[in-house]
Amino acid sequence: MHEHVTHRTLSDYALNRVNLPSETAKARRVQVNHLRTRLETYIAQHPDYDLVKMRASGSVAKHTAIRSSSDADVAAYVRAGAVGGVSANESQLLTWLRDRCIEVYGATKESSDFEISQHAVAITMRDSGLKIDVAPVLYEGEGNDRGYLVTQSGDRVLTSVTLHLDFLNKRKALAGSNYKEFIRLVKQFISRAKQESLVAGVDLRFKSFMAELIVAHLWDHGWNSEPFALDDYPRAFEQFLGFIAKTELRTPIVFSDYYTASDVAKSYDPIQIWDPVNPANNVAKGYTDLDRQRLVQRCTEALDQVTWASMAMNKGDAVDAWRTLFGPTFSGA
């Protein structure tokens, strides 16, 4: 029983400390949509233009952004044949995309507002300080906005911004608003865990997208013969952390929304969490067994604290236990 730190406690914490304020989120989406509209209008006026279309992506588009984030994401679909094909050099591709964005905006923004960052072109909105990362997706005309994204390892991975959003929103429609709020709470825990690890000189790897897919898996299948308890956040955390601690992330996670399980590529990767729109893409590709062990250890430690909080004799002890997940900003009020 979570008597002292309840679902309401974590819900209030999410509202006051984690969730992006609704006005801020709305303002960011307005700016992203303005950027998209400006670029898409230019594209429509130039039928042979090598930029094909724009799609909002990332946590702002998904409504899973947390308060500490300051960026938004847009996928720019680029006609692959115009830039050297799917195997185009990334640095040249990003330079090309930056020049196209400057070209579209003309003299209305300073050229210094357009900078090449890791795997994207960062456009700074001076009024708000919002940075919008425009990532190129190499496009060959496939349906459902399927195109090739350049990953951190330099691979070209088939993806679909639209199908990823549909995948998330289909589950949220069944689960209710708690689905995305719980994802935000998990992302807050991950952010805090990574900060602490850096201070300790340890590289804790845990992509937000991986966490989203674990939540989706638990929603689809439950845990230990129980449904995923999204109406009871402390219990949902026990299930989320317990799944990672008990399986040690050795069991592949596969979804069948857009393909069958038999389509998944054979892999010996230490962690296997398969992209729901691409059976050839292991989202955890590149994670080593040491990465897996560190992630499992941190989640096991967190599970111990959540379990201790459920048995604590007073609220102070329970709140202290949850602070090991969220940091000192968690008051339990």
Mean pLDDT of 265-293: 96
Question: What angle is formed at CA 147 by the lines to CA 141 and CA 152, rounded to 5 degrees?
Answer: 155
198 touches 294 (CB < 8 A): no
pLDDT at 127 over 90: no
> For residue 220, what are its two tokens?
């689809």
In sequence order, what are the residues at sequence separation of 6 or more whose Cβ sits closer than 8 angstroms to the Cβ of residue 207? 283, 284
Collapsed DSSP state (helix, strand, coil) of residue 80: helix
262 touches 274 (CB < 8 A): no
The pLDDT assigned to 70 comes to 74
H runs (alpha helix) in the chain: 7-13, 22-45, 58-62, 90-105, 161-175, 178-199, 208-221, 233-247, 289-311, 315-326
3-state helix, strand, coil in the chain (%, to 5): 50, 15, 35
56 touches 37 (CB < 8 A): no
In sequence order, what are the residues at sequence separation of 6 or more whose Cβ sits closer than 8 angstroms to the Cβ of residue 264? 252, 254, 274, 279
Per the model's pLDDT, the better-predicted residue between 109 and 45 turns out to be 45
Q: To the nearest whole percent, how much of the chain has pLDDT over 70? A: 99
Span 26-77, pLDDT tens digits: 888 898 898 889 889 989 998 888 999 999 999 999 999 999 887 899 999 9
pLDDT at 89 over 80: yes
The pLDDT assigned to 125 comes to 86
For residue 18, what is the DSSP state?
A: I
Burial of residue 308, with CB atoms counted within 10 A of its CB: 0-12 exposed, 13-18 middle, 19 or more buried: middle
Return d(Cα 149, Cα 273) in angstroms, integer. 18
For residue 274, what is the DSSP state?
A: B
At the top level of CATH, the class of 7-16+164-326 is mainly alpha
Task: Supply the CATH classification number for the domain 21-159.
Answer: 3.30.460.10
pLDDT at 108 over 90: no
Q: To the nearest whole percent, how much of the chain has pLDDT over 90? A: 75
76 touches 97 (CB < 8 A): yes
Return d(Cα 261, Cα 276) in angstroms, integer. 10
CA distances from 108 to 94, 101, 102 (A): 21, 11, 9
Q: How do strand 71-79 and strand 120-124 relate by DSSP bridges? A: unpaired
Return d(Cα 6, Cα 235) in angstroms, integer. 9
The pLDDT assigned to 246 comes to 98
Residue identified by tokens 């979570």 is 2
Mean pLDDT of 84-93: 88
Lowest mean pLDDT: which of 153-157, 236-240, 278-282?
153-157
The pLDDT assigned to 52 comes to 92
pLDDT at 105 over 90: no
Question: What angle is formed at CA 267 by the lines to CA 266 and CA 271, rounded to 5 degrees?
Answer: 140
173 touches 292 (CB < 8 A): no
pLDDT at 271 over 80: yes
Residue boundaries of the structural domains of the chain? 7-16+164-326, 21-159
pTM given for the model? 0.94
Closest by alpha carbon to 60, among 11, 14, 94, 27?
A: 27
